[in-house]
Each structure stands twice: as C-alpha cells, then as structure tokens.
Amino acid sequence: MEGTGAMMSTDERLAYMAGQILRNFAVKGQEAAIAATVDHIVQFWDPGMKARAVAMLSDPDAALPEDVRAVFARVQKDSAPA
Amino acid sequence: MTFTREKDFGTPEKTGETVSLTIDGQPVSVPAGTSIMRAAAMVDTAIPKLCATDSLESFGSCRMCLVEIEGRKGYPASCTTPVAPDMVVRTETDKLRKLRRGVMELYISDHPLDCLTCSANGDCELQDVAGSVGLRDVRFGYEGASHLDGCKDESNPYFTFDPAKCIVCSRCVRACDEVQGTLALTVDGRGFASKISASQDVGFLPSECVSCGACVQACPTSALIENTVIEKGTPDRAVVTTCAYCGVGCTFRAEMRGQDLVRMVPWKEGKANHGHSCVKGRFAWGYAQHRDRILNPMVRDSVDEPWREVSWDEAIARVASEFRRIQNAYGTRAIGGVTSSRCTNEETFLVQKLIRQGFGNNNVDTCARVCHSPTGYGLKTTFGTSAGTQDFDSVEQADVILVIGANPTDGHPVFGSRIKKRLREGAKLIVVDPRRIDLVRSPHIAAAHHLPLRPGTNVALLTAMAHVIVTEGLVNEAYIRERCDTDAYAEWAAFVSEPARSPEAIEDLTGVPAADLRAAARLYATGGNGAIYYGLGVTEHSQGSSTVMAIANLAMATGNVGRPGTGVNPLRGQNNVQGSCDMGSFPHELPGYRHIADSATRALFEQDWAVTLDPEPGLRINNMLDAATDGTFKGIFIQGEDILQSDPNTTHVAAGLAAMECVVVQDLFLNETARYAHVFLPGSTFLEKDGTFTNAERRIQRVRKVMEPKNGPDGKGYADWEVVQRVAQAMGLDWHYTHPAQIMDEIARLTPAFAGVTYDLLEARGSLQWPVNGAAPEGTPTMHADHFVRGKGLFVVTDYVPTDERTGPRFPLLLTTGRILSQYNVGAQTRRTANEAWHAEDRLEIHPLDAENRGIRDGDWVSLRSRAGETTLRALITERVAPGVVYTTFHHPDTQANVITTDFSDWATNCPEYKVTAVQVAPSNGPSEWQMQYRAQAEQSRRIEPAEPAE
C-alpha cells in the first residue's frame, strides 16, 4: 500500500480500519470475524463514523471489499432503530 | 510545616523476629538484623554518625558511632553491629565521648572552618556531630584544612562538588552503587589525597553520572550540594508532593523559602520511590518559573493574527460563546476535548464532565490514545481491568524479569534503578527490544537473554514463546484449571502449538535465533516468580492490543499473575496517564472503565449530574481530526497536551486543527498546537495546585500546592480545575467546587474502584492503590489475588498480522522512536531547563554498516524520509541498533520526528504505530526547507501584541 497513511480520505480510512479489525479476528473464521468486527465498531466508533460507513454501502464509487461490506451492512441493520 | 530534615535511622529497615535489648537503660524491641544504631534511633537516641545513612547498607568507616556492649570487649561500631537478645548497650560514656572527640579532631584537621559562609550552614551533619560530641579544640592543627581548595567541579548544571568540603565518608559512592546502580563514582587516591572521582576523573557532566541526585542527598556536608542552595540559602519549610514527570510517581519534599522553591528532595516515605529520584524530578523543575510561561489569557480571531492579551472574564466568555455558536450551527457533536495526563485526577474528571454534561456528547480523548490505549483494551479483555497488576515493591520478589519494549533506565529511571538492584541480587533478566538498551549490559548487570527482534514482530515472537511453553509442557495446569476459562485456554493452546508458530518457523521473520528464544521462554516459565514489565514498544504498533493480550496469555499460562513478584505491568508514560484513563477520558467509557452504552452506569451519572447523557461513543483524537478535515468537527478544548508535536503524521494533525473554528489550548507555554489556537488559557504547574495523581502501580498520591498560581494579576491566578469550572459555569453548568477534595468525593461516589478514597484517608495513609472499597478498604497492592477481576482469566488467540507499513527499495530501513533520560516527551518542560546540557538535539541512531553504505559519518546531517514526510537531523553511529533499524527521540520540535510517522495504528484502539516506519536515510546539508518554513511560521504564530499600558 505505497502512499497510504497521509493520502487516505476519511471514507477510505474507515474501510481500511474495518478491514484491519477483520484481519485481526480472521483466525476465528469468517462468520465469527464479521460478528466480532461489528461488535467492535458498535462499541468504539462514534455515530458519525458509523453513519459514513453505512452510507458507503449505497455509494457506487466506494470500493469496499466483500467482507467489509458485510460488516457495514450488519452495522446498518443493528443501528436501524436509531 | 517548619523545616526539619527527614529523620535518618542510620541503617536500613529490617524484617525479622522481634529481638529485645536495652539501650542506655531503655528497653527496645526491634526486628532481628536491625543495627544497634537503628534500634537506638527508634527510641530517639541519636548516636553520632557520619558515614551511615538509612538509604545505604552500613559501612563502618567513620568510627563515630562506637558504643559499649556489656560482656563484649572494645568499642564496636553501632552501625555494623546487629542487635542480639538481652544485649545491654551504652551509647554515652566518658570513654566513648573521648574516642569520638578524638576522631572528630582528625576530621576537622582536614576541613575548612568556614561554617558561617558555607552553603550547608545550618544543614550540615558534620557541623551537627562536631556539636554533639563537644568538639572544642583540634590538637592536630588545621594545616590540612584546605589542601584541595580550588578543585571544585562545577560541570554539572545542578550541583557542585567541592572536594575541600569532602570527608571521604563514601556515602556518595555507595549511593551511586546501591541506590542508583550506575557505579559512576569512586574514591581516587589515598590518605589526604583521597578524592571522589566521577568515571575516570573526567568531571561529573562528561562522566557516566546520570545526575539523579542520590549522591547529593547522601552527602553529609556541602561537598556535594544543590546549586540552588548555594544561590538561595537553606529552605525554611517543606511540603510533600508528587512529581509531575513520568508514571513512576515519585514523591518529593518541595523545600521552600517563602514562595521560592529551593530544592526538591525525594521523600523517603514515598512508596513509589523510597527516597530516590532522577534528574528530571529532582532538578528539572525550572520550567515552572521560565520566562516563556504565558501568564495572561489571550485570544485572536484568526491564527494569522498576533495574540491579544485579555482578562480571564473575556477569555472564558469567548470560549463559552464560541462553543455554543458552533453547536448551534453544526450540531451537538461538532465540538470535543482532550484531557491531560499531566493534570490531576480531579482536573481530568472535570474536563470529561464538561464534555459529557456540558457539551452533551462523548467527544473526549486523552494522550493515552497514543500510548497505552492498547493496554486498556488488552488487559480489560484478558484480566478484566485496565491497569498493572502489581506495586513496584513486587519486583523485589521477582526471580525472572521480562522487559518488553521498555527502556526503564531512561523512561522510568527510578523504577529502572529498582530493577537493577534486584538484578544485582541475582534475579535473571530477559530483554525483548530491537535496541540494545542499557539494561542489556551495564555495570554488574547482564541480561540472560536479549532478543533483538525486528520492529513490528512482537506478536510472532510472544506466540513463539507460548509455543515453547505449551509444547514443552511448561504450563501451570493447576493454575489454569482453577483461575482461567479452560475452553479458551484449549483453543489458544492448540493455536500456539501449531508448527507454524514455533521459534524455528518465525526465525526469519523476527530475526531472533530460535535457540535464544526457546531458552528465554524456558527461563520465564521455570525460573520462579516471573514478572513482565512493558512499555510503548509493545503498544505503539498496528498490533499493540494483540501484543498486550499475548503478554497476558504468557503470564496466565505460567501462573504468573496474582501474587507478589509476578504480574503484568505496563510502565505508564505520563505522571497521571493511569489516572486520566481511570477518570473516564476515553470516548467510549465513563470513569471506572464502564462503557457509555451501559444504561445502569449512565443512569448513575445522569442522576448525579441532572442531565441526559449521549449513549453513543464519541470521537477519538484522530477521528476528531478526520472529522475536522471533513468539516463536521469545528471546536476543541485541549488541556495540557501538545497534539501537533506528539501525535503522528504532523501534516494531518495540522490540517485538522487548521480546519476548526475554535481551538482552545490550556497550557503553560505557547506549545506547537497553540499555533492553531484561537484562545489560550494559561495553565498552572503541579506546584501551584492541590489534587491527586495516579501512578503506574494504581497508586493515588496527593499533589500539594506549594506556591500561588502565577497565571493571574498579582500572582493570584487559577489552578487548571478552577479555569475548567469557570468555563463550565459560563456554559450554564451549576458547578461550585471550592476544593479538589470535593471533586474526589464525587469521583468516589460515582466510581466503585474509588469508593473508599477520600483526602482524609490519603492524608492518613500517604497513598492508596485502587481498588479502594468495602472489599479492600486499605487499597490493593496486588490485583487478581484470588481470582481475576473478570471472573475467569481469558486466553485470547493472537494471530500475527503484519503491519501494512513495509520496507521496500525506496524505504529500506525501519525507524523506531523512543525517549532519553534527560528529556521528557515533547520536551516542553525539560527543554526549558539545564537538562539541555545532556541532550540538546534529537539524533538519528544508525548502525555502522548502514551508515557506511550511505557515506554517512558520525555527526553528519542526514535526511530522514518516509512515505508521510521528511526531516533532517544529525546521525549518531552506534551498534545499539541492528543493521536495517534506525532510531530517534522526539523531544525537539525542530526535528519533528512525527512528520515522518504515518497514520497506521493499532487495529483495536487506533494507537499510532510510532515504533515502525519505513524510511530512507541520506546525507544532507542541514535543516530542510520545510523545517526552515516551520520555524518561521512558528515565530509568526507566536507574536503577542503588547497590552495597552496601564497609564
């Protein structure tokens, strides 16, 4: 990832962070990793970050890896009532 | 309190069976092993002494402390003679008086009689003893008196050595050996020519002396004395308070004359430091009176304008109206704040309360984000609480000490000396660090194993240690069955046992020979009490939280948690970083580490504060900066932290700050962050306020006001908590604290771990280690004693995930960062003291091979470039770092090491990955254009418009 760090936009950074959390839970198996990542995001991300993450789901320009997309979709479902 | 020296019992305290004896007709009972001198002192019988002091083992050289013992011949020295049952001792007889007087005559025949003009006049043990033995004449004459006149060593900026005043009692030499463990001093020459010599008689400053002050404290005369005493005279009162530098939390007697601080002397009763100190706490307090201190509130409409000095009322009103304006325009969550780990618990509590209650959101964070946030996450997950498990005294019972990613002799020097003392007594040491830190090998100390791993491979290395422990059957099965979640253990044990996790399999990755790693793992698992101490070399990685959990796993697997001599101990950086975390400085946690989403906890605070709290976690510092760049976060209150210098990727921080409409900085100095501030609120130093700090061993200690705050007219300023209260009041909050004790009462009321803490109890006990509550009314030195706080200890599988920061052809070297003894963090304080004498600039440590490949000589200017930025500094060629690794400190804004560091961070907490940056190093001609511009801009942004003259 040459050039990451200084160059990431906030959306790119959120997707990157979700991917990084997923990678650290990957040893649990994909399903459990996704669930653990969702739980982590619910516990530690502020509402604005969660909203941006969810908004990326319907943004055709957002290039989200499949597992990150699955995480954000679950975040959307979990936070729907609010 | 009027001035008296701390009582000196002459020899150290002992523990043992009680022994009864009689001294001068008085019955005395003391522990076996106690010296007669100490036993006498315990019943207020002061036997004359010169070479004895209770911080040092007895030496028996001065021959002043002779006594008579019934049934024994001769006149034994009371300092070296232990008590015995039914012993009958006489300390004052005609014969003893005659002997002592004779010895004293010899001393004085070689000592100048200039007592009235001597800097130790009134505070000199030699003078006192001459008086107490009734010295009236010196039969040997005074010719020897001034034979060393003119040999003064004034090289150290803080103290002076005058050999003419030296009585060669060796207390300084022994203090350096026994207490500090540097062994820098020796007695050179013989007889009258005997002289204390630093290193090979090179003078104190250039020598190996670390200027801890132990020798000065031990000196019974004015041979070694603080320059401030020479300049100002002896103090007339003393107030005990807590140092505001690192997380060791040394307590000191601030010795004063009026409002003037004469010297800081480490307090013997202090449970964190037991009367020892380092160069920072002991001497580097001059910043508190430095002319750079800003003493008046200031405002400006834009950061291009010069500052305008205003009244406190105007500045406070400005903060309140700007924050409310921003919230009306951009929403409740458009502002936030940063609490300070330099400030007191009470101040930190108030800042997070201001944000949660007054701002109506949870956008609060603290500097622990960039240091030990992974400790919070990791230890809470595995053990159930976010703090070290032991007190510092525990190290005295450790058999194997495992130091990972910490450099205690520089970062936590007073505790570093404790470790060294234990190692000299025979404990074994394992060091896991890319750099050959001083502990690896120094006088009388050698690590059994140094594992110089490649930066960024901590998890792989610790998992391989676990592999050895599990596959070689070295686990403590009984402990695990009784105290840990056994399903989680089984899963973890299976994971670490896989061949891919073996030391041999990861040798290429970590660069650590498998045999060394295996031997170290065996030693930790089987060497007796195993104690782990770790620092930011563990946490400031993309897998910081995983590394903390990997450490916890190792400790649980070997049964090394829950009793003295063992444990998992983060060495916390700032004086009150433990406290600021305890006080609810994280955006997802209320005080006491309770999640904001927990409605029962929230209800407790809502009722007490008469407000509805936001149930959603707030923004972390780096998220605040992102949101600012995106235009959704517009205002910030920063108390005592310099995020522009201390946080990673300076360009990103600067862009975030520049995008805000109201940046409020409360600090002692116009720090780097203040370049982007609109309101500056002058801060108060730790000497100017009351409160408490909590150190790395969870020890809550009092900070006491020794002088009036300088940040106001006529020397009547405000403590930081008072300023926060005024901001809260201006924002409509009903706060009426008149003393920090009331804030602590509120903390205790709302936080179970602090339930029993009061200022009265702190006064009575000196200090308290939380939890302090019904179950532990006197506090808790060792945590998890019977069971883990979370119930069963949780093993967590920690898979090694390599950092995305990779070396490659453009950036072939790995940069790691750290601290040095004489400077402190961003250097705002220490750079404003004479500590500059030791470290006036940041240097780049580079291995001779890497330097030669690039044509770099020692001292050359080099450019240091990463994907994030570029800076220049001078090279220091050393084999302390391995080939492929370079190292620098971050104490000087001119260097701006964080221009280089990237945005990569810990996966769980976003703690920045300061310890791994891919860089290239090349020869350079001097400071880069960027550095020159930065300097110019700094000067521009620090202009202050002179206030209108009063007449």
Instruction: Evaluate whether residue A64 is within a structural domain.
Output: yes
* Helix boundaries (H) for B540-679: 544-557, 577-582, 599-609, 621-629, 643-646, 650-658
The verdict on B400 and B454 lying in the same domain is yes
User: Does one domain contain both B352 and B501?
Assistant: no
Q: Which of B365, B613, B903, B914 to mutate to test the interface with A (most CBs of A within 10 A)?
A: B903
Number of domains in chain A: 1
Phi, psi angles (nearest 5°) of residue B628 = -65, -45
For residues B879 and B763, give the distance between their C-alpha atoms in angstroms, rounded to a whole number. 49
* pLDDT at B277 (0 to 100): 97
CA distances from B149 to B111, B186, B215, B511 (A): 10, 20, 20, 56
Together in a domain, B366 and B386: no
Q: Is the pLDDT of residue B941 over 90?
A: no
**What CATH number does residue B831 fall under?**
2.40.40.20
CA count, 13 A, side-chain hemisphere, B752: 7
Q: Residue B929 — very low, low, confident or very high, per pLDDT cuts 50/70/90?
A: confident
Half-sphere exposure of B124 (CA within 13 A, CB side): 25
Set of chain A residues whose Cβ sits within 8 Å of the Cβ of B903: 4-6, 8, 13
Closest CA to B723 of B338, B310, B350, B242: B350
Contact partners, residue A16, CB within 8 Å, separation at least 6: A4, A8
Same domain, B552 and B514: yes
Domain annotation covers residue B251: yes
Question: Is B773 domain-assigned?
Answer: no
Model confidence at B194, pLDDT cuts 50, 70, 90, reads confident
Residue A5 confidence class, pLDDT cut points 50, 70, 90 = very low
CB-based contact B395:B646 (threshold 8 Å): no
DSSP lists the bridge partners of residue B682 as: B667
Chain B residue numbers with beta carbons less than 8 Å from the beta carbon of A3 are 867
- Using alpha carbons only, what angle is made at residue B671 by residues B346 and B902, rounded to the nearest 5 degrees? 95
The reply to whether A74 falls in a domain is yes
* Same structural domain, B239 and B318: no
Mean pLDDT of chain B: 93
Domain presence at residue A6 = no
Dump pLDDT digits (tens) for B776-798. 999 999 999 999 999 999 999 99
Tell whether B133 is covered by a domain: no
> Which domain-ending residue is among B92, B123, B151?
B92
Can you read off the two tokens belonging to residue B87?
């012993």
pLDDT digit string, tens, across residues B403-443: 999 999 999 999 999 999 999 999 999 999 999 999 999 99
State the pLDDT confidence band at B142, using cuts at 50, 70 and 90.
confident
Contact B364, B355 (CB under 8 A): yes
pLDDT band at B146 (very low <50, low <70, confident <90, very high): low
Distance from CA of B289 to the nearest CA of A (A): 39
Q: Map residue B661 onto helix, strand or coil.
A: coil
Predicted local distance difference test score (pLDDT) of residue A3: 38
Q: Do residues B586 and B524 share a domain?
A: no
Contacts of B764 (CB under 8 A, 6+ apart): none
**B645 plus B673 within the same structural domain:** yes
Sort strands B449-451 and B400-404 into parallel, antiparallel or unpaired.
unpaired
Is A60 among the domain residues?
yes
Q: List, for residues A28-61, the tens digit of each pLDDT value.
A: 999 999 999 999 999 999 999 999 999 999 998 8
Beta strands in B764-858 (DSSP E): 767-769, 813-818, 843-846
Is A27 touching B (CB cutoff 8 A)? yes
Q: Phi and psi for B98 in degrees, rounded to 5?
A: -65, -45
In whole angstroms, give the CA distance from residue B950 to residue B947: 9
Residue A79 belongs to what domain range?
Answer: 30-82
ipTM of the complex: 0.91
User: Considering only alpha carbons, which residue of chain A is nearest residue B917?
Assistant: A5
Q: Are residues B280 and B316 in the same domain?
A: no
Q: Tell me, yes or no, whether B175 lies in a domain.
A: yes
For residue B589, being part of any structural domain is answered with: yes
The answer on B641 and B719 residing in a single domain is yes
b/e burial code for range B20-43 (CB count within 10 A of at least 16 → b): ebebeeeebebeebbbbbbbbbbe
Minimum distance, in Å, between the CA of residue B615 and any CA atom of chain A: 10
Residue B51 clears pLDDT 70, i.e. is over it? yes
Domain that holds residue B194: 159-289
The phi-psi region of residue B141 (left if phi > 0; otherwise alpha if psi is between -120 and 50; otherwise beta) is: left
CATH number, position B628:
3.40.50.740
B202/B305 same-domain check = no
For residue A27, give the nearest of B618, B799, B805 by CB distance.
B799
Distant-in-sequence, close-in-space partners of B306: CB < 8 Å, separation ≥ 6 = B300, B943, B944, B945
Asked, for residue B730, whether it belongs to a domain, the answer is yes
Distances (CA, A) of B658 to B389, B439, B488, B654, B892: 41, 43, 48, 6, 22
- For residue B9, which of B31, B70, B27 has the smallest C-alpha distance? B31
Residue B536 placed within a domain: yes
The distance of A57 to chain B (nearest Cα, Å) reads 19
Report the alpha-carbon distance of residue B594 to residue B751 in Å, rounded: 9
Is residue B826 situated within a structural domain? yes
Same domain, B382 and B425: yes
Q: How many other C-beta atoms are found inside a 10 Å radius of the C-beta of residue B395?
A: 23
Domain stops at, among B71, B92, B113: B92
Percentage, residues of chain B above pLDDT 70: 98
A-B C-beta contacts closer than 8 Å: 82
Mean of pLDDT values over B277-281: 96
Query: What residues of B are in contact with residue A1 (Cβ under 8 Å)?
Result: 804, 806
Please, what is the end-to-end C-alpha distance for chain A in angstroms? 36
Closest CA to B292 of B711, B666, B832, B673: B832
- Structurally, how many domains does chain B consist of? 5
pLDDT value at residue B145:
53
Mean pLDDT score, B689-693: 97
How many Cβ atoms sit within 10 Å of the Cβ of residue B125? 20
Whether the CB-CB separation of B223 and B166 falls below 8 Å is answered with: yes
8 Å CB contact of A6 and B868: yes
Final residue of a structural domain among B92, B117, B133: B92
Residue B223 scores a pLDDT above 70: yes
B463 touches chain A (CB under 8 A): no
Please indicate, yes or no, if residue A69 is contained in any of the structural domains: yes
Handedness of CA B246, B411, B207, B272 (dihedral sign): positive
Per-position DSSP letters for B681-703, written without gaps between them: EE---GGG--EEEE-TTSEEEEE
Nearest CB to B651; choose among A4, A6, A44? A6
CB burial of residue B634 (10 Å; 0-12, 13-18, 19+): buried
Q: Are B358 and B396 contained in the same domain?
A: no
